[in-house]
Amino acid sequence: MVAIIQYNAGNIRSVMNALNRFGVECILTDSPEKIRCADKVIFPGVGEASSAMAYLRERQLDRLIQSLKQPFLGICLGLQLMCSHSEEGDTQGLGIFKEKVKRFPPADKVPHIGWNNFKEIKKTEGNLFNGLNLESDMYFVHSYFAECGSETIATTEYILPFSAALKKENFYAVQFHPEKSASAGQQLLKNFLSL
C-alpha cells in the first residue's frame, strides 16, 4: 500500500489518479500511523513552502518523515521541502537533503512551465531512471529550484542548471511532475513502485 501525504498543498489528487492507473492501492492521509505502516510513501504538492511546512510541523509530520525507512518520493514542492532551506518565505526545510532552494533569477520567464529534458542522469542503486534517458521529457511548473549538490542524481537546465532529482538512502525526490509527464513519467513512477 502506498501512502500519499495529505498536507497544505495542491495537486495531490492527480498523483492518486496516476497510481490508480497502475492498479496500486493508495490512501491520502496525514495520519502518522498510516504513513508509518505504508510500503511506500509519496510526498507530492504544489503550493507555498512556509505554509506547507507549518502544516507539517503542527501535525508533527516533519519528524515522522525524517524517520521513515521505506522508499519515499517527494514531488515538486515535496522535493523543495525535503531540502535544508527555501528562499520562499525564508523556510527551514526537513533537511533530508543538504541542497538549498532558491528562486530563479528574473533573467527569463519565471515560473519555469512546460516540458524539459535532462542534462545529466547519474546511475544509482535502486535507479529511479531505469528506461529513461537524457531525451526523456518531463513536465515542470516551478519558480524555485534546488541547487545542484552531492545528492543530485539528475539535472535540468532552465536559466541555470538545477537538481531535477535528488537521492539519499531511501529518500528520492523529483522537481518535475511524473503524474503529468505522459509515458516517461509513468515509467518513473513504475520504477519507484518497484523499489
Catalytic residues: 76, 177, 179
- Cell digits of residue 157: 537546465
Distance, in Å, from the CA atom of 106 to the CA atom of 103, rounded to the nearest integer, reads 9
Instruction: Yes or no: say if 173 and 161 are a contact pair by the CB < 8 Å rule.
Output: no
Instruction: Yes or no: say if 195 and 40 are a contact pair by the CB < 8 Å rule.
Output: yes
Distance, in Å, from the CA atom of 6 to the CA atom of 100, rounded to the nearest integer, reads 24
- Short-list 40, 47, 3, CA closest to 141: 47
Distance, in Å, from the CA atom of 156 to the CA atom of 159, rounded to the nearest integer, reads 10
- Label the pairing between strands 2-5 and 40-43: parallel
The number of beta carbons lying within 10 Å of the beta carbon of residue 183 is 11
